[in-house]
């Protein structure tokens, strides 16, 4: 870490004196509340948002936090909690998490995915245990410990529990970030989700890859399945798929060789392939189709040349000369309005980064090198507003199982993560320096 300002050093010195806060709540109570949240089925496409909302509000009430439920979109509640600071003129802190989780294939799990089963190793099996119900509850448990220690925040702390992150976040975090309410919250820093780490060092993320979901279509003359034609739809599409495969391999080779991290390369994965003529009894085998298409999940880091990639798609992967077209089902720019990569600074220009590093260390944790998140999170909506946003989920010594079968988190890692957040929230809420012009205060 680079040399920090004197004011920041003083804040860090004060927080490093506290290594552990004794909580009246036992670990078993902490785990029990986590299991209760995990048992609420909020899987897409039909998440039980209202049951989750009732649970979060009950926790907020037990902590004497101010609460508000907003529905920017009908039947998609967003929960906003507030712990007022002693100096409300200082910009606030936002701790963001999402309440929805991805679907499950129940028969492929060793334990029921919404039972929150705790096995003999202390592993809690549940959808959302890593992504990211753990973080949302760890925020609340950390606040519980801070309140029990009689800590009073200098800055106001907000907690947002948003819907729909797993399907793009457009009706959740994006609506919040674009709202007048968010302007009035006067946020200085956002914490959001990260990833588990198989090693002992926690992972931190300062940016993320942007989706550029692409559908490539090919057309050609239909004909008998036995005849050899030039430029058939399938032939042209297969040429494109092979070109995409070579590009993918070149990017992946850099990761496998250790030259770049996964988040630093352009990832391309074929999501579907569609072609053929169907009859009531199945696909017709003796007809060549006149149309064929493939969908690709492309993720572009902010350090990549997105314009050059679009040119490659137009000229190499879907050239008009081969009767091919393409369209973007979703394309998010990797640059801000000024043409700069959308990144959160990780040097001394960003005091929040230094505070997080020291807070994690003072709580006994270790951090790895800052990374670009390989997929997308709600943090992107706040970074686009020019705010620093850090992705962080305190899960060390844990296999990466988000969106996978048998997702789990060990109870000891979960409880340790609570203490990590105690240290981070204390440091952030105690930082007294101005970080940006003060906006109007809200009336939550």
Q: What is the mean pLDDT of each run of 10 residues along the chain (444 residues)?
A: 53 46 68 98 98 98 98 98 97 98 98 98 98 98 98 98 96 98 98 98 97 96 89 95 98 97 97 92 92 97 96 98 96 91 95 98 97 95 97 98 97 98 98 62 44
Instruction: List C-alpha distances in Å: 282 to 277, 289, 291.
Output: 9, 14, 17
Q: Under CATH, which number does the domain 210-331 receive?
A: 3.30.70.360
Residue of 222, 214, 220, 215 whose CA lies nearest to 236: 220
Are the C-beta atoms of 132 and 122 separated by less than 8 Å? Answer: no
Interior CA angle at 387 toward 381 and 391, to 5°? 70
Range list of β-strands (E), 176-323: 187-192, 204-208, 210-219, 223-224, 267-275, 278-279, 282-283, 287-288, 291-300
User: Domain boundaries in the chain?
Assistant: 6-208+337-430, 210-331
Q: What is the pTM of this model?
A: 0.87
Two domains, one topology: 6-208+337-430 and 210-331? no
Are the C-beta atoms of 276 and 213 separated by less than 8 Å? Answer: no
Active site residue 164: no
At residue 277, the pLDDT reads: 87
pLDDT tens-digit profile of 189-246? 999 999 999 999 999 999 999 999 999 999 998 889 899 988 899 999 999 999 999 9
At residue 172, the pLDDT reads: 98
Determine the 3-state secondary structure of 250 from DSSP. helix
DSSP one-letter string for 118-185? E-TTSEEE-TTTTTTHHHHHHHHHHHHHHHHTT---SS-EEEEEES-GGGTSTTTHHHHHTSHHHHHH
Of 165, 193, 208, 378, catalytic: 165
Assign domain 6-208+337-430 to its CATH superfamily: Zn peptidases (3.40.630.10)
Of 100, 166, 171, 192, catalytic: 100
Determine the 3-state secondary structure of 309 from DSSP. helix
Active site residue 165: yes
Residue of 54, 52, 58 whose CA lies nearest to 37: 52
Residue of 375, 378, 191 whose CA lies nearest to 301: 375
């Amino acid at each position: 870490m680079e040399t920090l300002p004197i004011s920041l050093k003083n804040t860090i010195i004060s927080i490093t004196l506290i290594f552990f806060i004794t909580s009246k709540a036992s670990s078993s109570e902490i785990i029990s509340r986590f299991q209760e949240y995990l048992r609420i089925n909020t899987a897409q496409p039909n998440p039980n948002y209202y049951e989750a909302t009732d649970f979060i509000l009950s926790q907020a009430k037990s902590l004497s936090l101010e609460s508000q439920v907003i529905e920017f979109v009908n039947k998609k509640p967003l929960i906003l909690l507030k712990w007022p600071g002693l100096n409300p003129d200082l910009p606030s802190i936002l701790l963001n998490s999402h309440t929805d989780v991805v679907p499950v294939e129940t028969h492929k799990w060793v334990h029921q995915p919404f039972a929150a089963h705790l096995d003999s190793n202390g592993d809690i099996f549940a959808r959302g245990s890593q992504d990211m119900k753990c973080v949302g509850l760890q925020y609340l448990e950390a606040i519980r410990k801070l309140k029990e220690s009689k800590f009073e925040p200098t800055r106001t702390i907000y907690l947002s529990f948003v819907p729909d992150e797993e399907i793009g976040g457009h009706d959740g975090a994006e609506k919040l970030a674009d709202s007048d309410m968010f302007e009035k919250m006067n946020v200085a820093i956002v914490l959001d989700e990260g990833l588990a780490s198989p090693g002992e060092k926690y992972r931190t993320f300062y940016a993320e890859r942007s989706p550029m979901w692409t559908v490539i279509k090919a057309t050609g003359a239909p004909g008998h399945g036995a005849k050899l034609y030039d430029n058939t739809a399938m032939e042209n599409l297969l040429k494109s798929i092979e070109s995409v495969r070579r590009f993918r391999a070149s990017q992946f080779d850099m990761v496998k060789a250790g030259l770049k991290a996964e988040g630093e390369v352009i990832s391309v994965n074929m999501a579907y392939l569609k072609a053929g003529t169907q009859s009531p009894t199945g696909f017709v085998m003796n007809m060549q189709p006149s149309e064929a298409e493939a969908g690709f999940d492309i993720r572009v880091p902010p350090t990549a040349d997105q314009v050059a990639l679009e040119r490659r798609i137009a000229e190499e992967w879907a050239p008009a000369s081969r009767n091919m077209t393409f369209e973007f089902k979703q394309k998010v720019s990797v640059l801000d309005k000024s043409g700069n990569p959308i990144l959160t600074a990780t040097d001394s220009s960003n005091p929040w980064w230094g505070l997080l590093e020291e807070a994690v260390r003072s709580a006994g944790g270790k951090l790895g090198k800052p990374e670009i998140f390989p997929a997308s999170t709600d943090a992107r909506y706040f970074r686009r507003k020019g705010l620093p946003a850090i992705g962080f989920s305190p899960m060390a010594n844990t296999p990466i199982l988000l969106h996978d079968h048998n997702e789990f988190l060990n109870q000891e890692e979960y409880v340790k993560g609570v203490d990590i957040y105690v240290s981070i929230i204390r440091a952030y809420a105690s930082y007294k320096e101005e970080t940006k012009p003060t906006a109007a205060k809200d009336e939550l």
